[in-house]
Amino acid sequence: MAGVERTEEPRDPSSRSPHARGDRRGDRRGDRRADRRADRVRRLRADAVWILAVAAAYWAVGQLGLLRQVVIEGTVITPLWPPTGVALSSLLLLGLRVWPGIALGVLLSIATIGPLRLTDLGIIAGNTLAPVCACLLLRTVGFRIALDRLRDGVALVFLGALAGMLISATTGTAVMVLSGRLPPEGLWPTWSAWWTGDAMGVLIVTPLILVLRRARLPLPRDPRRWAEAAALTVAAVAVIPWATRSPLCLLFLVFPLLVWAALRFQLAGAAPCALLVSVLAISAAIDRVGPFAHHTFVEVMVSLQALNGSAALTALLLAAIVTEQRNIRHKVEQACLELAEVVARLAPSGPKDRPRG
């Protein structure tokens, strides 16, 4: 405005100096370094919490597995070792960063069985390396934790269970033999029981944990779905204990239930049914009742693991096939709807009069 004298405030000459600009840049770099350190500390704390959680889960589930144990040549073996399923699912969900939790869980589990020895380090290494290698093998083939494709189920069976658990069984039995805790003639029965127990843990427990992560209850307005789920539960609770303990050899009755659960509820219904079959069959086999009575130990173990493997494969693979087919059908329906919308947009808005010849 005219008649008003404009005055300027004096500027600090130090603000233009290169030293001041350098100080400000140094402060910003220091702040960034502090933020990075704080982020690293937070990540380390989160990793430590997850590692301890995995170790606690491994140990707790291991105590459940040890409730039904067998002793072969002085070595404690379980027909179903659930911690292997916990270990592999933890690696698939949380990443390889939680492997120390698996090692700690193995250490705690061994400590509950007997006094720790130096040779137990080999068993800890084998039981830790087995799920880690299984996880890496599954990653190489593009395994999806949703288990919504047949190839995912096949990969879990052959790479996660059968191939991956060779490491723990081979390492463990080799350590036991070399340390003199297991006689050489007990190598084969101990190795086979160890391997099948670890593999069954992967086949039965891993799908259950993966499906619990994304399980959803049926809608309240769908009473027929709830009624069918209740009917399946009642049938499983009634039929499976009878089939596993009846002297009439009725083990085949569990498979219609597994098929029903897989077809109607996919893995959310099939995985719990397979777990129930395995737990009750192991209990009957160790008690030597029902179809497992009047047989040698080897015959009982072969029959038991054949049943467990068949039940797990039926539940897992059939559920994966049904889920994959439903996803394909949904994609086809979506493509048809999109195509119909495109055709509707391109079609003329109304009929046009044809020119008369």
Q: Quick check: 5 pLDDT over 50?
A: no
Contacting residues for 56 by C-beta, under 8 A, at least 6 apart:
105
Q: Are 135 and 197 in contact (CB under 8 A)?
A: no
Mean pLDDT of 85-102: 95
Q: Quick check: 231 pLDDT over 60?
A: yes
Q: Quick check: 166 pLDDT over 60?
A: yes
Instruction: Report the alpha-carbon angle 325-200-187, nearest 5.
Output: 145
Contacting residues for 219 by C-beta, under 8 A, at least 6 apart:
225
| Better-predicted residue by pLDDT, 347 or 324 | 324
Token code pair at residue 265: 């509820």
CA proximity to 76, closest of 174, 181, 161, 201: 181
Mean pLDDT for the chain?
86
Q: Are 245 and 284 in contact (CB under 8 A)?
A: yes
- Residues 250-308 have pLDDT tens digits of 999 999 999 999 999 999 999 999 999 999 999 999 989 989 988 888 888 899 999 99
Element (H, E) at 77: strand 75-77
Reported confidence tier of residue 341, pLDDT bands at 50, 70, 90: confident
Reported confidence tier of residue 2, pLDDT bands at 50, 70, 90: very low
Lowest mean pLDDT, pick from 67-71, 112-116, 132-136, 165-169: 67-71
Q: Please give the Cα distance from 152 to 144 (Å, whole number).
A: 6
Contacting residues for 301 by C-beta, under 8 A, at least 6 apart:
70, 79, 192, 193, 196, 285
- Residues 132-145 have pLDDT tens digits of 999 999 999 999 99
- Domains recognised in the chain with CATH numbers: 46-214 (1.10.1760.20), 219-344 (no CATH)
The pLDDT of residue 7: 47
